[in-house]
Amino acid sequence: DQQVKQNSPSLSVQEGRISILNCDYTNSMFDYFLWYKKYPAEGPTFLISISSIKDKNEDGRFTVFLNKSAKHLSLHIVPSQPGDSAVYFCAASAYNFNKFYFGSGTKLNVKP
Amino acid sequence: DAGITQSPRHKVTETGTPVTLRCHQTENHRYMYWYRQDPGHGLRLIHYSYGVKDTDKGEVSDGYSVSRSKTEDFLLTLESATSSQTSVYFCAISPGGGTSGSNEQFFGPGTRLTVL
């Protein structure tokens, strides 16, 4: 059973608007969360992370929100750009275990 | 970019043949991982290593074995390939250590394996 779930396989957004990608997890031991971005024929690249001691982390156009009580995190991209079109994976780990669990990914399409 | 390479990048093989994929890093990171990516499943951990000769199983380890005799190399072996092992395989590295920023993984470019 998947411990990290991304229930939206795809998302289409107009350029300049906000993109919101969602992720849910089931394991309460997870305390570190990451988002990765993947272009076709390339490996995933790290985007942004958040520790469970925070509920928000911001890096430029990217903000990750964590709701521990709901076991839910989201990635906000504002404003969205066509170059953001990619597959986004969320991942979770228990901080000291260095073992990561990934969601199934959400394919974001930003239309010009 | 983290120095991580995978070889081969593409391979076509037949059912029942052994296959070895290689991951090589130049970052001296402690942790190395093998994942497979399949539609609808995202990235699933096969095996990982936390040091030379120290390995452990992931979510989907059946049919796979690994070895790490040097810090820089992590090998994934399919002893007898099956069609269900057709996938894209990614290697990743991580410094580990449990400190801020050490949980990030850096991924290789992937190996596309087709088992006929």
pLDDT tens digits for range A58-104: 999 999 999 999 999 999 999 999 999 999 999 998 866 678 899 99
B48-63: pLDDT as tens digits? 999 999 999 998 999 9
pLDDT at B14: 96
Over range A6-22, report the average pLDDT.
97
Tokens 């000769």 sit at which residue?
A: B53
Cβ contact, residue pair A89, B96, below 8 Å:
no
Tell me if A110 sits within 8 A of A19, measured CB to CB. yes
Q: Which residues of B touch A100 (CB under 8 A)?
A: 33, 45, 103, 105
Q: Give how far B59 is from chain A: nearest CA, Å.
A: 9
| pLDDT on residue B2 | 63
The string of pLDDT tens digits covering residues B25-50 is 999 999 999 999 998 888 999 999 99
Q: Which of B6, B31, B43, B112 to mutate to test the interface with A (most CBs of A within 10 A)?
A: B43
Across chain A, what does the average pLDDT equal?
94
When pLDDT is averaged across residues A16-23 and rounded to a whole number, the result is: 98
Give the per-residue pLDDT at A98. 77
Contact B5, B108 (CB under 8 A): yes
- Measured between CB atoms, does A57 come within 8 Å of chain B? no
pLDDT at B102: 58
Distance CA(B34)–CA(A87), nearest Å, equals 19
Picking from B42, B103, B107, the nearest residue to A95 by CB comes out as: B103
pLDDT of residue B104: 81
User: What does DSSP say about strands A56-59 and A4-5: parallel, antiparallel, or unpaired?
Assistant: unpaired
Give me the pLDDT at residue A94, please: 84
- % pLDDT > 70, chain B: 92
At B1 the pLDDT is 56
Record: contact B90-A105, CB cut-off 8 A: no
